[in-house]
Structure 1
């Protein structure tokens, strides 16, 4: 009997082998290739000693995502940026490219693994392990900085769970931040990201806690906990839009501990194809010595496209803004005005300037796009007058 059982088991495994191998081969070959090419010209002029900068760069993404086998799949994506036609008169400090000579354009030449992960999905659970894009809630605290040619990714484990309709829970552990300056500025870390959301009749409520720490042997914890509500309500043909958010941050800098608050109040209306918004975003200060920090955010999206406030000043930042956007000639346009002030002013820092942002983006067919964007920052007590202009062409499949 034992010999018969062993023989039957061996025969069944022999039969299953090719089946499993075939399923694996099918999953790998039934995947999807993808590509994205962005040719972009950027021009920067600043009222300081640095020379005006200009760059013409081509960013290439090439990727492949497998099919699914028993809930498992995998993705690999390579990223490359090259200077085109010798148009590389700009500075990228962290990589040592033309240090101190030109204004900064943060697009170094590079080739690297952008994403490479294994994913598992089943019964409301998604687990993803490896180098990956991680974003939460509009990129204000955790983003991929996709505006830059070398976008930000993370070596991480991410777990998402949807226990019921309209409820989602997420946890991410990051042990390396792959930043936008090729490999020269990547950081080892011990970051824990917790995010929970629920859709309610009045909008989406999100509760989050982002516990960040650079793994460099020093005390440098940066803990941010907050809650937000965003939604819209219809009043006839008009939609009323609203966002409310508050967060508290505790920062440990060696033996010094700091804390600061964050708040956002935004109201808007959408009617007849036009959307208008007004808001006040406050990145608070701790006695003028520390400003609320968001080191993993897609910072270009917030506080003006001229990128003068990538690091919050010690006096904090109050960004009062109005924006109008809509559709025109098959594309999308937007105009935004920012007025910047200190949260806790000092004798030398109070009015931090104002900025105008204008953009127009259009898709052509299924695969092509083009865009034009302009930023004009007028300095007061902070930084210097800055103008930036971008034009780009894109191809994706």
Structure 2
């Protein structure tokens, strides 16, 4: 799985993008700095431990029984010390059910219950080698946690107990002033369904390039290009190019205006049998004042005659409602009009968000959703929280209520 797959036809743009990425990352060179001995590096590393208990409840207006998922996720990792600019990190992950599995994990054959995609498996979550011997540059090869921007195109799906990681070569360079260039090649997504599922791996041949410039007073400008070629799912192969601008401007000592604008275009790529072109739009405005942040936004995933804009590698739970009703964009596209309000009260993070969903074409109404969250970081090691989502269908899906309680320990 950690060996790149052979090249396929129709990938001249892919090779050009990868060449540009490598050239950008290796623009500067230097002799690696010798550090401690190999034995010191292997024995003088750091252990990491994370344990998260979560209870998830799902109730849907359909014949399925309610889901009651009580699970514990444990991650144990070890990072070596530095040896001539190299370090190695390995992390195991285990998800265990507490009591009976009264939910459909997607692989436990409990198909009479609603889905909670937290399969109880033990896996290698991350294992990679990283090189930091070049100035302002980090190179990482292997299975790794990786996300870009707000996770809309490439994300970790960190909300699920078994997160999404990538088998990839990734480089990041900060040689240019106020600029971060992230480039690389993804060749497998280790999905949340686990290796025990036929849907657990998503092999691909996908070069990526993301250039972020933070030198503007008003915010951060990002340009990106992602060429996703899925080797076992040609219909998902797409080329994606976009611009994103996000930031904030102080209007008083206690108030700041917030804004985000993003546009991307998606077309068929590689051996995709379909021919289409669809756009993505995001416009968000907000105000942060006296400890309260209010935002309103519109996110649009267009449809081109029934072929809609898709982002299968995203952290989709964070995008269009916590009830997970839009993990796949409907054929008629999606418009998500939302408003949120958040605050911190005595250290407790509070957030409420309301979504109104409709189609991009054919003037269809889908439904609406209310989400509520409260999370309390007791200190840097301990966090507890609760979350609720209620989706009311109006033409798509079924009424769905979800609730979560969790506690996390991290060292």
| TM-score higher than 0.5 | yes
1:157 aligned residue (156, 169, 178)? 169
The equivalent of 1:137 in structure 2 is 149
Q: What is the CA–CA distance in structure 2 between the aligned matches of 1:28 and 1:152, rounded to whole Å?
A: 27
CA RMSD of aligned residues (A): 1.5
Corresponding position: 1:312 with 2:329: yes
What 5-or-longer segments of structure 2 have no aligned partner? 1-33
Residue 384 of structure 1 is matched in structure 2 by: 398
Tell me how far apart the structure 2 counterparts of residues 21 and 266 of structure 1 sit (CA, whole Å): 47
| Matched residue SS, 1:80 | strand
Q: Which has the higher strand share?
A: 1
Q: Which stretch has the larger CA shift, 241-250 or 191-200? A: 191-200
CA distances 1:336-376 after superposition (whole Å, capped 9, x unpaired): 00000100026xxx111000000000011331110000000
- Residue in 2 that maps onto 1:111: 122
Are residues 219 and 275 of structure 1, via their aligned partners in 2, closer, same or farther at CA, if it must alter by over 3 Å?
closer
- Superposed counterparts of 1:244-323, under 5 Å: 244-252=261-269, 254-287=272-305, 289-323=306-340
In the superposition, the TM-score normalised over structure 2's length comes to 0.88
SS at match of 1:191: strand
Query: Structure 1 residues 265 and 159 mapped into 2: Cα distance closer, same or farther (>3 Å)?
Result: same
Residue by residue over 1:45-65, the C-alpha shift from the partner in whole angstroms, topping out at 9 and shown as x without a partner, is 000111111100000010011
TM-score (norm 1): 0.91
**Structure 1 residues 120, 372: closer, same or farther in 2, change over 3 A?**
same
CA deviation after TM superposition for structure 1 residue 34, in Å: 0.6
CA displacement 1:304-329 (0-9 Å, x = unmatched): 00000000000000000000001113
Structure 1 residue aligned with 2:18: none
Task: Report if aligned partners of 1:90, 1:98 keep a CA contact under 8 Å in 2.
Answer: no
Q: How big is the shift at 1:112?
A: 0.5
CA contact (8 A) 2:235 2:274 kept: no
- Using the alignment, how far apart are the partners of 1:113 and 1:99 within structure 2? 25
Q: Say if 1:21 and 1:373 are closer, same or farther in 2 by CA, change over 3 A.
A: closer
Cα shift at 1:218: 4.7
In structure 2, what is the Cα distance between the partners aligned to 1:39 and 1:219? 37
CA distance in 1, matches of 2:224, 2:208: 8
- Residue matched to 1:41: 55
Task: Indicate the residue corresponding to 1:241 in structure 2.
Answer: 258
Question: In structure 1, what is the equivalent of residue 7 of structure 2?
Answer: none
Paired residue secondary structure (1:27): helix
Partner of 2:360: 343
The alignment covers a number of residue pairs equal to: 371
Q: Does residue 216 of the first structure (1) align with residue 228 of the second (2)?
A: no
Structure 1 residue 32: Cα displacement: 1.0
Contact 2:388/2:402 (<8 A) preserved: yes
Consecutive unaligned residues of structure 1, counting only runs of 5 or more, are 1-19
